[in-house]
Structure 1
């Protein structure tokens, strides 16, 4: 299978008060063209930091290791100028909060066209492309709306403008960081449908960062579950969510709001999430795990294959799937 992006043993260290903190620890997965990989987990699990590492948007002082092979080229080994050329043109990001990501002092049309102007495109070509992108992403009256400022758009319209901006450089990979979190469910469904249609039309690969399993189940072909900066489990979406091979994945599935019953949550996930800064010894999930044993407290489980395309970091995965 052709692979657009191969994340292999990625590590990210951030400076901390008592020394470096490993916020992403040996994370590995692949994304193929025209497919979506969902990256899920609770807040602080390392999802956004992993996506930011791909596009080289890490905080000052961050150190990386492993490999980020983009169409065969390791982005961790190339020059800073090459990484800048990749960002926006080959790999683009849709940020979680478009109101914060968009410049409030510039019109939407000017921001969408910025990457084209930087590439030296003629002004009439830039305008045609901007209007085409705004229309493609479902913004009505694009000629008029292109002259509006971000605060004049609704939340759903701002997210559509952010998608148009991401598409302006004709990327082959989209990184979507919680693209529907702040939207109501009807707008959320429209944005997800739009992303799916664009992906099908243009053959884009996509990394979808989310904490919402229902969103991921709707659009992702593969799922990577992260906990405390590490991969807990990864595999095909349907198989992974229907029969988890890690207790953390099972707990996430069981905690999805039960819409058709009177209960707000089916089975809330107990305890406080571990973070890379306070990661327990052994399996990081063991303080919250219902099947934890002494081995889990002392030995960190390696990510291992437990079925066709199924990988998990649990000592007792066979008991869960069996």
Structure 2
């Protein structure tokens, strides 16, 4: 469905451009959920925004973004607008900011339908269906409601309904549960998983929470300081991480690997693209770091079927995994 190859994004800095995303590559197959995971500042959201052209002014993009064989980076702005909503839709991190406070929920969910020329009656019927599918009770009575009249979970469901209005083939979900309590998070995740399975659409899920990935994603792309640290199937990545950063992430979340209440927080401070260390960006926090790690940037290499890692000593990391 979507092939991302060598994606790099530079933003203007005080004296020189800053590379926020550096040579990121991955693919999203049909009917598959791919997760982008990493700490804040790792470049996850910027990568997702690049897929639909929502980048800051002055951003310079290199590489390739191929949607069903069509190169998006060279597509016209009008073509990109056609794709947004109709073929590729996005669920933003903050539903309150994503919704217009001056317009009703019904009007906002039905906007893309009205643009397609459907009658008012057909739009109303479809909006009710979408709200119902998103799990909003008594949807017909909610058409005239405003965003401030909805709870956080209900607003997120309304945003999901908006994203589904154009019947997209790819859904981009940027931290869709961050602002919600644990119970509502679980409901939203179940909803997204059900929609993905029933509709057969593809989904790119951006999150810093490995527990979210464990329940929803088929494949995972681990990012650190704007680069891909590791990628592969979710089961393989979480059970046998081959990069010290991925292993540290897994060990910091007890629910991913063990029933123990103990966790091991990551030491140190995440590297930022603006102050990315030489060599492997993770080496200041890595217990396996050696001179080679400080001097030579590791390349993303295959270490098995559908499994890649950017670590000089991946085999050693695998050998150290718990029995």
TM above 0.5: yes
Pairing partner for 1:150 from 147, 151, 154: 147
Query: What CA distance in whole angstroms lies between the structure 1 residues aligned with 2:282 and 2:259?
Result: 30
Paired residue for 2:132?
135
Pairing partner for 1:64 from 30, 54, 61: 61
Question: Post-superposition shift, 1:260?
Answer: 4.9
Q: 1:210 to 1:116 in 2, by over 3 A?
A: same
Q: 1:228 to 1:127 in 2, by over 3 A?
A: same
Give SS of 2:265's match.
coil
Matches within 5 A, 1:1-322: 4-257=1-254, 260-261=259-260, 263=262, 266-322=263-319
Query: What CA distance in whole angstroms lies between the structure 2 residues aligned with 1:247 and 1:221?
Result: 21
Question: Post-superposition shift, 1:208?
Answer: 0.3
Q: CA RMSD in A?
A: 1.1
Query: What CA distance in whole angstroms lies between the structure 1 residues aligned with 2:111 and 2:58?
Result: 28
Q: 1:302 to 1:262 in 2, by over 3 A?
A: closer
Query: What CA distance in whole angstroms lies between the structure 2 residues aligned with 1:260 and 1:310?
Result: 27
Contact 2:254 2:260 in 1 (8 A): no
Contact 2:230 2:243 in 1 (8 A): yes
Q: 1:203 to 1:262 in 2, by over 3 A?
A: closer
Contact 2:254 2:261 in 1 (8 A): no
Give SS of 1:201's match.
helix
Runs of 4+ residues over 3 Å off in structure 1: 257-263
Q: Which runs of 5+ in 2 are unaligned?
A: none
User: Under a length normalisation based on structure 1, what TM-score does the superposition of the two structures give?
Assistant: 0.97
* Aligned positions, number: 317
Give SS of 1:162's match.
helix
Q: What per-residue deviation string (whole Å, max 9, x for no partner) do you get for residues 110-136 of structure 1?
A: 000011112222111111110110011
